[in-house]
């Protein structure tokens, strides 16, 4: 009896490896497709792009660094700076004023017909969340981060949430092949 149970157990183990392999392949393929689409997003630029350079950690205006990065990448666009003077940082007392200034920049870029924003941020994480809330559901926003090497790198594109069949987004491109 136990010999029979042992054989059945071995068969179940051998058969169960196939769903696991299929699932692993499925997720590997999705990750590869997402990475490819993200690289394509990084290189694509719309008709009227702008950059927003936010420096709020006491480093002063970072628009010079951003300008050099854009020049190295052969990207031509206007830069809207938002910064505090060197040696000053963001506090709960000046946060509302800075958010109001960001809203003014958003309105200004909307009036200019901006079709996408390249966002360069040097600020506390809490303020980054507020930035995301302000720029949510507006135009495509490409987020850049200054890495430990001192160069900016593209991290992600902020876009509206995905509803199958309703909107075009990077996530939709990844998911549609599977639906």
The pTM of the full predicted model, rounded to 2 decimals, is: 0.71
Range from 39-43, 47-51, 73-77 carrying the lowest mean pLDDT? 39-43
Close Cβ partners of 171 (under 8 Å, ≥ 6 residues apart): 159, 162
| Best mean pLDDT range from 2-11, 53-62, 103-112 | 103-112
Please report, for residues 39, 68, 105, 144, 170, the alpha-carbon distance to residue 152 in angstroms, rounded to integers and kept in the order given. 15, 10, 22, 6, 22
* pLDDT band at 175; cut points 50, 70, 90: low
Please, are residues 157 and 25 in contact by the beta-carbon 8 Å criterion?
no
CATH 3.90.980.10 fits 47-158, yes or no: no
Residue entry with tokens 């769903």 = 19
Listed range (21-25, 96-100, 133-137, 172-176) with the worst mean pLDDT: 172-176
Q: Where are the domains of the chain?
A: 2-42, 47-158
């Amino acid at each position: 009896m136990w010999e029979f149970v042992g054989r059945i157990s071995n068969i179940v183990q051998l058969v169960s490896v196939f769903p696991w392999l299929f699932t692993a392949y499925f997720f590997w393929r999705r990750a590869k497709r997402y990475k490819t689409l993200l690289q394509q997003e990084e290189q694509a630029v719309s008709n009227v792009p702008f950059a927003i350079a936010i420096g709020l950690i006491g480093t002063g205006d970072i628009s010079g660094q951003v300008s050099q990065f854009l020049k190295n990448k052969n990207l031509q666009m206007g830069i809207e700076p938002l910064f505090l003077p060197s040696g000053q940082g963001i506090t709960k007392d000046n946060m509302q004023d800075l958010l109001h200034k960001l809203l003014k920049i958003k309105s200004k870029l909307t009036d200019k017909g901006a079709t996408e924003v390249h966002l360069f941020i040097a600020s506390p994480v809490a303020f980054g969340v507020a930035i995301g809330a302000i720029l949510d559901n507006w135009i495509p926003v490409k987020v850049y981060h200054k890495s430990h090497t001192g160069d900016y790198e593209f991290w992600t594109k902020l876009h509206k949430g995905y509803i199958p069949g309703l909107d075009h987004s990077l996530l939709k491109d990844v998911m549609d092949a599977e639906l």
